[in-house]
Amino acid sequence: MAFLKKYQKFIATFIVILLLLEFGIYPCLTMANTFANIIGAIGLLAVCIWAVLTFGASFDDDSIDKKEIGETELDYMPKPKTKATRKPKTTKVK
């Protein structure tokens, strides 16, 4: 339920936008009346601007969980040990 409370405004806005498009904008755009088409286009533009302003606010810095730079789980993993390699024997040439 906490998830729904956090995003309740966005869910309600999304449903309202879908209903406006389904029952208000699309019928105006498919009518044979030019005036209704113009009103539908203006309404579509208004709904698009409203949607961008509403859902664009969800991408603000406050709503995004940021990870702090620094300590991670990789800091606690043991580092792989490297095998010591022998130096090859060199022979002196007389």
pLDDT tens digits for range 6-23: 778 888 888 998 998 899
CB of 54 within 8 A of CB of 80? no
* Share of residues in the chain with pLDDT > 70 (%): 81
Tens digit of each residue's pLDDT, the chain (94 residues): 676 777 788 888 889 989 988 999 999 989 999 999 999 999 999 999 988 888 876 665 555 555 566 667 777 778 778 777 777 777 777 6
DSSP per-residue letters across 18-72: HHHIIIIIHHHHHSS-HHHHHHHHHHHHHHHHHHHHHHHGGGSTTTS--PPSS--
Quote the CA–CA distance of 13 and 28 in Å, as a whole number. Answer: 21
